Amino acid sequence: MTNHWIDLKNSDCLLIMGSNAAENHPISMKWVMRAKENGGKIISVDPRFTRTSAVADFYAPLRSGTDIAFLGGMINYIIEKNKYFNDYVVNYTNASYIVGDKFDFNDGLFSGYDPKTRKYDASKWAFKLNDKGVPEADPTLKNPSCVFQLLKKHYSRYPVEKVSEITGTPVADLNKVYEMFSSTGVKDKAGSVLYALGWTHHTFGTQNIRASAIIQLLLGNIGIAGGGINALRGQPNVQGSTDGCLLFHLIPGYLKVPRTSQQSLDSYVKGNTPTTGEPQSANWWQNYPKYTVSLLKSFYGDKCSKENDYGYAWLPKCDDGATYSWFDMCDVMYQGKIKGMFVFSQNPAGSHPNTNKVVKALSNLDWLVHTNIFNNETASFWHGPGLDPKKIKTEVFLLPAACSVEKEGSLSNSGRLAQWRYKAVDAPGDAISDGDMVARLVLKLKELYQKEGGKCPEPILNLQWDYVDEKGRYDSHKVAKGVNGYFLKDVTVKDPSGKDVEFKKGDLVPAFGFLQADGSTSCGNWLYCASYTKAGNMMARRGKEDPTGLGLYSNWAWCWPVNRRIIYNRASCDPAGVPWNPKRALLKWEGDKWVGDVPDGPWPPMSDKKKGKLPFIMKPDGRAFLYGPGLVDGPFPEQYEPVESPLKKNPMSKQMNNPAIKFFKSDMDKIASADPRFPFVCSTNGLAEHWCSGAFTRWQPWLLEAQPELFVEISPQLAKEIGVKNGDRVKVASVRGEVECVAMVTPRIRPFKITGKVVHQVAMPYAFGWLIPKSDRNNSTNLLTPAVGDANTMCPEYKGFMVNVTKV
Amino acid sequence: MSKGFSILVDTSKCTACRGCQIACKQWNGLPATQTKNWGNYQNPQDLSAVTWKLVRMADGTNGHGKVYWNFFSDQCRHCLSPGCMAVSENGEIKQDEKTGAVLFTPKTKDLDYQATLEGCPYNIPRQDPKTKRLFKCTMCFDRITNNEIPACVKSCPTGALVFGERDKIVEIAKNRAAELKKTYPTAAALNADDVRVIYVVKDDPTKYYEFAAGK
């Protein structure tokens, strides 16, 4: 989230799209309802009329996988009807920048595409720079090569009638949503976007979110109270694990994973540290070397120094351009090239796509270690439906884990708020926390490498591992302090105001502004620097003061970065530092300092031509990206069909699918698009009563009573066509697998009219599996889903694939 | 009796998360029953001797072809003049003076179940088939007499359930209905002057549940 949960109450209009917040994030509705009580409007856009739609002021349906068409239409509407916030757009976004003449877009493809490698050469999309290395700009926004004009041209291809043909949303509904949401493009209104897996679970998921970023920037809704782009994250600490390094292309603090072409620390930091000629840009990532060296110091302590490149050689390197997602791992496992695997707190045999392939891949392992609080379909895969346990060689170890209330530590929520929590009870039996498991595992590995040697022992032997107490037990406070970081020698450094401050060896670093690239500081994650300081564990704070009334609660726990509750907050003021909306002022420049929330940097606002800085400090040139040349699949979002689509042709262009996605070639990776055998669009969804794949909640009788078994929601029209009545048993099949379930016939699902033809959509929860409850009435919906992922993140396309539904 | 407590069920704020349904079972130690999906999210299908709070979920289309999905967190209304008590001659059903809670005692096993049910306008009492005893919501009598709010109210994330002194709740309910009426002409606070558990609805009550406003 750019903003935070409580801030939803400050919004004048909430666009809930790609999210069924009421179902999957029930508590969010507390704040959504507060907004509604204050006169705010709720818009729900979803293929189904959901529990969220039930309390929305306006609902609009759309076919799964057509969000970019829907949002592209809104961008066109905002520009054509002059609804954008001109001062914000001109000053704070790259609207005025001139794009170089190598940029082009033709029939669905941007310039620089190589069909052999399925990759773009993004250098073709670069800005035209002046002799100082700053993009040339036209603040009048008239130059035909400026971002604003290119944006206008690109989305002029998305008139509302065309959008309706693709999405199936009635034209009147589109216009209503566009009118409601674009009404926030003025100084004193705030519009918020709430999204979740409904946007990320596509082969163009990242571009769905980019499209919303363009809208929010055009409307001036980023950096303000009640605005922002708010990812409602699906698990209590998934934000924390992403900040850590959950994803294969990142190391802690969103630093890039080292690549094989970057053999020295110097080449790594040079390759990742942006430069700018823009004098008013803070270019915050210029601190990349400080964060990298401090991270290496936290990994390797005294064992690393300038002389040995701070141990950079010990970090594993990924091949350039290669992906290492679950799909890749599963594919390699399927080929029999992986021997063993640790799976923590995941249920891949239930929640990952193309489950038949997952199970085959797991069967190829020699050993599988799984930690969880309950048994699940992954730990038990070897005796699943249709498998003969005698023929499965994989040895499975299920380690009992402590659950959330049985351990102490931090938890970071969607609003970047890290809150300390305490242990309430001891874990039962032999169960221990996963932190304890990792701590013991590392100590054992160190012992074995010490004793037996082995290939490349240095990364393990040199690892600083002082995270256990005197009895060898995992100590979450030691980890939290290590993540915050220490001074490693006595130093005198300048604080942000230029004053000298002395620190002793062993002092906790007060904030990331003090981190150094010379080995004098350590920090396990620069974003969390300031979370555990001399003043104590900031995450354990419980202050309830709310002086602004905006719900910032700055003394409650702690959030990154440096406890700033709404990021890019300097954009909530005009270039002179005066709040756009004084009634919801986050910050104000008082001639010599900012007053209010923690500002996005101490510098004066940009009207101070000498010392002032632009508000989007994480962008090299200080301005937010309407035009985004940083992604692998194009600088503007473009509508492509899901990999499995009901259509033979993409109505927008010759290019059917996202050109930059990766396909897997195994015999189990089948795709059936526009195939008469599988005529209906299907999308998967969560349930309020179950936790993700249900691995925890299906053991809970009350929750199972409320939501007992797998079902498919279908429209009355489709039910009539296929001769199915409400409550009948049906078979749902894709080219990859099939499941039986109950048909729920409901007007909440409706047929769409797409390019003149009727297209039926169905929907299934993914919360069920064969293991529990014990019956033959449940299996995993993911037997149906395709293992294809987003071009930038490899996030699976669970939302939009093709099935057939027949009566059993 | 008009003092005591009341519960507001503002259906316009309910998202059917069913926290209240589960919290009721948890606090009262009521077992889960084995259910099947019967083509509806609502489950169990009905109230029972072990289900005293049930979120009813009704979908359909209204005159303009617009879809609705109405949620009705059903429970005993704790009437000011309880119809169920008409058959109770030997203290089988009691009305607590202080709180106003209507309580089914173990002696309800001796009551004529059909007659008791017919006396209730809201179709609430349910009989344990084995012991013949009757059961329903107690307003969390054990909680509210110990300065705690009912378990269902405690669990509600959106503010749809509110517990408090009756006078205040009646006022909130009526004001809320008046506010909603501006947008939804059919909005109402159902039987606010006769019951302690007051439902605020936007739509025709029968589009929530047959007995939402009484038989």
pLDDT digits (tens, 9 = 90+) for A751-805: 999 999 999 999 999 999 999 998 888 999 999 999 999 999 999 999 999 999 9
CB–CB contact B69 A711 (8 Å): no
Encode pLDDT of A247-270 as tens digits: 899 999 999 999 999 999 999 999
In the predicted model, is pLDDT for residue A460 greater than 90? yes
Chain B residue numbers with beta carbons less than 8 Å from the beta carbon of A710 are 37
| pLDDT value of residue B2 | 53
pLDDT band for position B1 (cuts 50, 70, 90): very low
Mean pLDDT value across residues A19-27 = 97
Average pLDDT, chain A: 97
Which of A30, A49, A703 shows the shortest C-beta gap to B158?
A30
In the predicted model, is pLDDT for residue A345 greater than 90? no
Mean pLDDT value across residues A669-683 = 98
Chain B interface disruption, residue of A19, A51, A58, most B CBs within 10 A: A51
Give Cα separations from A569 to A303, A716, A733 (angstroms).
40, 48, 49
**DSSP-derived pairing of the beta strands B54-61 and A757-759:** unpaired
**DSSP-derived pairing of the beta strands A41-45 and A58-60:** parallel
CA A804 to chain B, closest CA, distance in angstroms equals 19
Which of A26, A705, A726 shows the shortest C-beta gap to B157?
A26
Give the pair of three-digit tokens for residue A189: 């209104």
CB–CB contact A706 B22 (8 Å): yes
Which of A30, A53, A702 shows the shortest C-beta gap to B157?
A30
Which of A703, A745, A750 shows the shortest C-beta gap to B22?
A703
Distance between CA atoms of A233 and A757, rounded to whole angstroms? Answer: 36
Encode pLDDT of B51-63 as tens digits: 999 999 999 998 8
A237-270 per-residue burial string, b: 16 or more CB within 10 A, e: under 16:
bebbeebbbebbbebbbbbebbbeebeebeebbe
Encode pLDDT of A517-553 as tens digits: 999 999 999 999 999 999 999 999 999 999 999 999 9
Q: What percentage of chain A has pLDDT greater than the value 70?
A: 100
pTM for this model (two decimals): 0.97
Encode pLDDT of B130-184 as tens digits: 999 999 999 999 999 999 999 999 999 999 999 999 999 999 999 999 999 999 9
Q: Is the CB of B159 inside 8 Å of chain A's CB atoms?
A: yes
Q: Tell me which residue has tokens 């101070």.
A: A608
CB–CB contact B158 A29 (8 Å): yes
List the domains of chain B with CATH numbers: 5-30+41-78+142-207 (3.30.70.20), 83-135 (3.30.70.20)
Phi and psi (nearest 5°) for A371?
-115, 135
Residue B63 vs residue A410, higher pLDDT: A410
**Searching chain A, which residue's CA lies closest to the CA of residue B179?**
A37
Does A747 sit behind a cis peptide bond, omega within 30 degrees of 0 on the bond before it? no
Chain B residue numbers with beta carbons less than 8 Å from the beta carbon of A715 are none
**DSSP-derived pairing of the beta strands A191-195 and A229-231:** parallel
Mean pLDDT value across residues A292-320 = 97
Mean pLDDT value across residues B202-206 = 96
Chain A residue numbers with beta carbons less than 8 Å from the beta carbon of B151 are none
CB–CB contact B15 A22 (8 Å): yes
Distance between CA atoms of B40 and B35, rounded to whole angstroms? Answer: 12
- Find residues 83-142 of chain B whose CB sits inside 8 Å of chain A: none
HSE-up (13 A, CA, CB side) for residue A439:
18
| pLDDT value of residue A115 | 97
Nearest to A1 by CA among A567, A676, A451, A379: A567
Beta-carbon contacts of residue A337 (< 8 Å; ≥ 6 apart): none
Chain A residue numbers with beta carbons less than 8 Å from the beta carbon of B25 are 702
DSSP string, A195-230: E-HHHHSSTTHHHHHHHHHHHHHHTT-SSSTT-SEE
Encode pLDDT of B35-86 as tens digits: 999 999 999 999 999 999 999 999 999 888 899 999 999 999 999 999 999 9
Three-state DSSP class for residue A364: coil
Beta-carbon contacts of residue A595 (< 8 Å; ≥ 6 apart): A587, A588, A589
Region of residue A319 (phi > 0: left; psi between -120 and 50: alpha; otherwise: beta): beta
Region of residue A740 (phi > 0: left; psi between -120 and 50: alpha; otherwise: beta): beta
Distance between CA atoms of A791 and A119, rounded to whole angstroms? Answer: 10
Chain A residue numbers with beta carbons less than 8 Å from the beta carbon of B34 are 705, 708
| pLDDT value of residue A774 | 86
CB–CB contact B41 A707 (8 Å): yes
Distance between CA atoms of B161 and B146, rounded to whole angstroms? Answer: 19
CA A113 to chain B, closest CA, distance in angstroms equals 45
| pLDDT value of residue A497 | 76
| pLDDT value of residue B139 | 98
Q: Which DSSP helix (H) or strand (E) runs through B167?
A: helix B166-181
Chain B residue numbers with beta carbons less than 8 Å from the beta carbon of A746 are 59
pLDDT band for position B194 (cuts 50, 70, 90): very high
Cβ–Cβ < 8 Å for A432, A476: no
Q: What percentage of chain A has pLDDT greater than the value 90?
A: 97
CB–CB contact A51 B16 (8 Å): yes
**Searching chain A, which residue's CA lies closest to the CA of residue B161?**
A30
Q: Give the number of beta-carbon pairs within 8 Å between A and B.
A: 105
CB–CB contact A702 B25 (8 Å): yes
Cβ–Cβ < 8 Å for A321, A119: yes
Distance between CA atoms of A412 and A399, rounded to whole angstroms? Answer: 25
Which of A55, A688, A727 shows the shortest C-beta gap to B38?
A727
Encode pLDDT of A102-128 as tens digits: 999 999 999 999 999 999 999 999 999
The CA angle B102-B105-B111, to the nearest 5 degrees, is 100
CA A114 to chain B, closest CA, distance in angstroms equals 47
Chain B residue numbers with beta carbons less than 8 Å from the beta carbon of A742 are 36-39
